[in-house]
Amino acid sequence: MEIATLAGGCFWCVEAVLQQTDGVEGITSGYMGGSIPNPTYEQVCTGTTGHAEVTQVTFDPERISHSALLDSFWKLHDPTTLNRQGNDVGTQYRSAIFFHSDEQQQTAERSRKTLEESDAFDDPIVTEIVPATTFYPAEDYHQNYYRSNREQPYCHYVITPKLEKLGMEE
């Protein structure tokens, strides 16, 4: 198994999509990239901790490559909006790939370059590719959020349409 850590806006959205990706064995929502140890959700929401909402993904490289995982990542959010995904605004919602090895860094940089050269977006890609730092799991109520809270308004109006657009199970 390998670990990938991805930030693409609200971790609930990223988790809901990647849970349905073949080869993904586990996902933990959490925080990474900031200076505050053991941050709480309330602290991260202030935008002053430097942490991003992330999903730490455990995947089987025999079933899905890091490159293929990144292909899913690019589709599940808008990598051209700086510190924002939809109505979620702040540095905690930035787009980032936190790499765990030189190989993951190279794969991420190739993947971003390929996407930039494809002209898939009108605006430049702002996704950071940075070394992984300490991962802090989010509080228990954030784990498996969509599956446990489908009728919650955010899930209903933001996550469900995203899953529909990607042709995934709601």
Which residue type occupies 31? Y
Which residue type occupies 71? D
Is 10 marked active-site?
A: yes
Return all residues near 83 (Cβ < 8 A) that are at least 6 apart.
89, 90, 91, 93, 94
Whose structure tokens read 């899905």? 64
Whose structure tokens read 């784990």? 143
Looking at the DSSP bridge assignments, the partners of residue 136 are 31
Question: 103-136 as b/e, with b when 16 or more CB fall inside 10 Å?
Answer: ebbebbeebbeebeeeeeeeeeeebbbbebeebb
The SS3 assignment for 97 reads strand
Q: Which of 10, 13, 45, 155 is catalytic?
A: 10
The residues annotated as belonging to the active site are 10
